[in-house]
Amino acid sequence: MNKLGAAITGVSGYVPDYVLTNAELEKMVDTNDEWIRTRTGISERRILKGEGLGTAYLGTKAVESLLEKTNTSPDEIDGLICATVTPEMFFPSTANVICENVGIKGAMSFDMAAACSGFLYALETGNNFIKAGGMKKVIVIGADKMSSIIDYTDRNTCILFGDGAGAVLLEPSEDDYTIKDAILRSDGVGRDFIVIKGGGSAYPPTHETLDKGYHTFYQDGRSVFKYAVTSMADVAAEIMERNNLQGKDVAYLVPHQANLRIIEATAKRMEVEMDKVTVNISKYGNTTAATIPLCLWEWEKKFKKGDNIILAAFGGGFTWGSVYFKWAY
Ligand code: UT7
């Protein structure tokens, strides 16, 4: 009998209807479709419209459909973790609000902030709650309403991001089709390269912080690119090596969707052909914590039981990591 592990037994997702195209962005800032597509791989992204609708709305939609498709009742859920850097509000947590929206009562729920690596951090946390033996059904969400923190006059960043949410269900399993390994890393050297400076305890909102632009997303893209392109490839290669996997053994690489060039570099380093890499950046852009679960959702039907799947991400913090699991259904 194998040790107790956590299996992903369901996945779902949600993207809002509104499509923000490169052509529309051309009318808002000094940019062009050709530059955006060749430098990033993005053609369009989804934006959540509607007053008072935040990240909990996106997460709620994803969880509602996850519960429905896995035939799970809200009162069976023991825990719900929401990875996000665009929480509904400071507190209560987005996870608390999602639980209330979908009728999950009395379960452990909390948010995790690890930027674009957030889903990997939350997945490994959920994995450990299951492996510890106390929980039978844990939902892990990656959800971000990036449009709420983007300055749509800044061409360096406004072309990159979109809104969305993805969610998986984790359940205990003693067979082989479980989460096998995770490497999670961080280095605060990134604190000035991707940041929203204001709104927290260091720079609470004032007229001055607003005027200085402290409340919107800032990224030094070129510096982040250099760290991302090596760190994501290195960590994916490391997880393969310590699990004796070669490129041919990997059924799918599911990478964070920040830039097609970073994805291609990671695949090359892993010796995984691009037809084994999930890529949907062209239609959703970078949805931060949601990119990986949205890919899992979109590729779900192609995955086969026992497939070796590797997740890899890099993001603000810096944070980065890789998770290896065998698909369970
Ligand atoms: O998900 C979290 C982690 N984030 C990442 O992994 C993102 C990593 N970084 C990147 O993906 C890339 O750095 C970007 C896509 C953000 C930018 O691409 P780049 O090739 O690094 O461009 P750059 O910032 O070096 O800018 C090149 C040029 C500049 O003009 P000059 O100085 O060469 O005259 C920019 O001003 O492109 C210009 N530029 C633009 N031109 C048209 C920057 N943004 C735009 C734009 N449209 N939207």
Element (H, E) at 94: helix 94-102
Residue nearest to atom 26 of ligand 1 (CA): 222
Coil/strand/helix, residue 1? coil
The alpha carbon of residue 5 and the mean position of all alpha carbons in its chain are separated, in whole angstroms, by 22
Whole-angstrom distance, CA of residue 267 vs CA of residue 256 = 12
Q: Whole-angstrom Cα distance, residue 16 to residue 294?
A: 12
pLDDT at 1 (0 to 100): 54
Positions annotated as catalytic residues are 116, 256, 286
CA of 172 to the centre of ligand 1 (A): 43
So what's the pLDDT on residue 3? 85
pTM of model > 0.95: yes
- What is the token pair recorded at 217? 């997303």
Q: Would you say 51 and 148 are in contact if contact means Cβ atoms under 8 Å apart?
A: no
Show the ligand 1 pocket: residues with CB < 6 angstroms: 31, 35, 39-40, 116, 155-156, 159, 221-222, 224-225, 228, 258-259, 262, 286, 314-315
Q: Are strands 79-83 and 138-145 parallel, antiparallel or unpaired?
A: parallel
Report the C-alpha dihedral over residues 41, 46, 52, 57, rounded to 10 degrees.
Answer: -100
Rounded to whole angstroms, the Cα distance separating 155 from 186 reads 28
Q: ∠240-280-127 over CA atoms, to 5°?
A: 45
> What averages of pLDDT result for each successive group of 10 residues across the chain (329 residues)?
88 98 98 98 98 98 98 98 97 98 98 98 98 96 98 98 98 96 97 96 97 96 96 97 97 98 96 97 98 98 98 98 98
Q: Positive or negative, the Cα torsion across 37, 22, 165, 16?
A: negative
Q: Measured in angstroms, how far is the CA atom of residue 156 from the centroid of ligand 1?
A: 6
Its sign, for the CA torsion 212, 214, 220, 221, is: negative
CA distances for 98 relative to 138, 142, 169, 188, angstroms: 14, 12, 15, 30
Residue 40 is which amino acid?
T
Q: How far apart are CA 299 and CA 98, in angstroms?
A: 25
| Residue among 225, 230, 288, 319 whose CB has most ligand 1 atoms within 8 A, to mutate | 225
At 291, which amino acid appears?
Answer: T
Residue 109 CA to residue 44 CA, distance in Å, equals 33
Q: Are 288 and 116 in contact (CB under 8 A)?
A: yes
Which of 30, 34, 39, 319 has most ligand 1 atoms within 8 Å of its beta carbon, as the pocket-test mutant? 39
CA of 160 to the centre of ligand 1 (A): 10
Burial class (CB in 10 A: 0-12, 13-18, 19+), 283: middle
Domains defined along the chain, listed by start: 5-176 (3.40.47.10), 180-326 (3.40.47.10)
Give distance in angstroms: CA of 225 to centre of ligand 1: 9
DSSP 50: S
- Percent helix, strand, coil in the chain, to 5, is 40, 25, 35
Ligand 1 atom with minimal separation from the 159 CA: 48
- The per-residue pLDDT for 2 is 66
Structure tokens at 280: 């949907």
pLDDT score recorded for residue 22 = 98
